[in-house]
Structure 1
Amino acid sequence: MRFVHDIPHPQFRIGLYAWNGKYIVKIDAGPYEQTYKISEMDIAGGTDDVQAMLDEPFLAAVAARFQAMDRDWQETGDRNEVL
């Protein structure tokens, strides 16, 4: 996997990668990560179009998903008396 560049964001660490004919967007927040794979053939404008897709409504949904991931993790820890 080839690192392309970081995409600045105040809340998340966002990295753009290229691998096997796909762009891979990795979004990290603390111990959690979300990964999105987009075929290079589906993106006419290359990395600029990928970055344009990371608009505020999308990133708001990403933030909500991270909150749900954390909630799920905490709940399973509580149920199983591990955390």
Structure 2
Amino acid sequence: MRILGYIEHPAMKITVFKMDNRLSVKFETGMHEQTYKFRVEDAVQSLEDVQRIVDEAFQEAVLQLFRSMHMNSMRALARNMPRSAADEFDKII
């Protein structure tokens, strides 16, 4: 697998990889990541092709999914790992 390039975005790191007959686009923010894979064919062969596919609407959908992933993580932690009093900071008067 080799890195073809990056797509600029202010809130996410977007990396495009090529391996054999597929292109992968990896989106990263903080603790979460998403990867989308495309077959290399006539319409999708280069970084420029991927940049056209990963347009503003695609990127906004990815951000929405990141928000949902974050909320799922936070809810799971709250349900299964409740904070104890020892986790709280001392009150300063």
Bigger Rg, which one: 2
Aligned residue pairs: how many?
Answer: 83
Structure-2 change in CA distance of 1:60 and 1:80 (3 Å): same
Structure-2 change in CA distance of 1:34 and 1:44 (3 Å): closer
**Which stretches of structure 1, 4 residues or more, deviate above 4 A after TM superposition?**
none
Letter in 1 for 2:9: H
Q: Percent identity?
A: 33
Whole-Å Cα distance in 2 between the matches of residues 19 and 45 of structure 1?
A: 11
Give the match for residue 41 of structure 2: 41
What is the root-mean-square deviation of aligned Cα atoms in Å? Answer: 1.6
SS at match of 1:41: coil
- Which shifted more, 46-55 or 19-28? 46-55
Give the match for residue 5 of structure 1: 5
Question: TM-score under structure 1 normalisation?
Answer: 0.89
Instruction: List runs of 5+ in structure 2 lacking aligned partners.
Output: 84-93
Instruction: List runs of 5+ in structure 1 lacking aligned partners.
Output: none
Whole-Å Cα distance in 1 between the matches of residues 42 and 32 of structure 2?
A: 27
Whole-Å Cα distance in 2 between the matches of residues 42 and 71 of structure 1?
A: 38
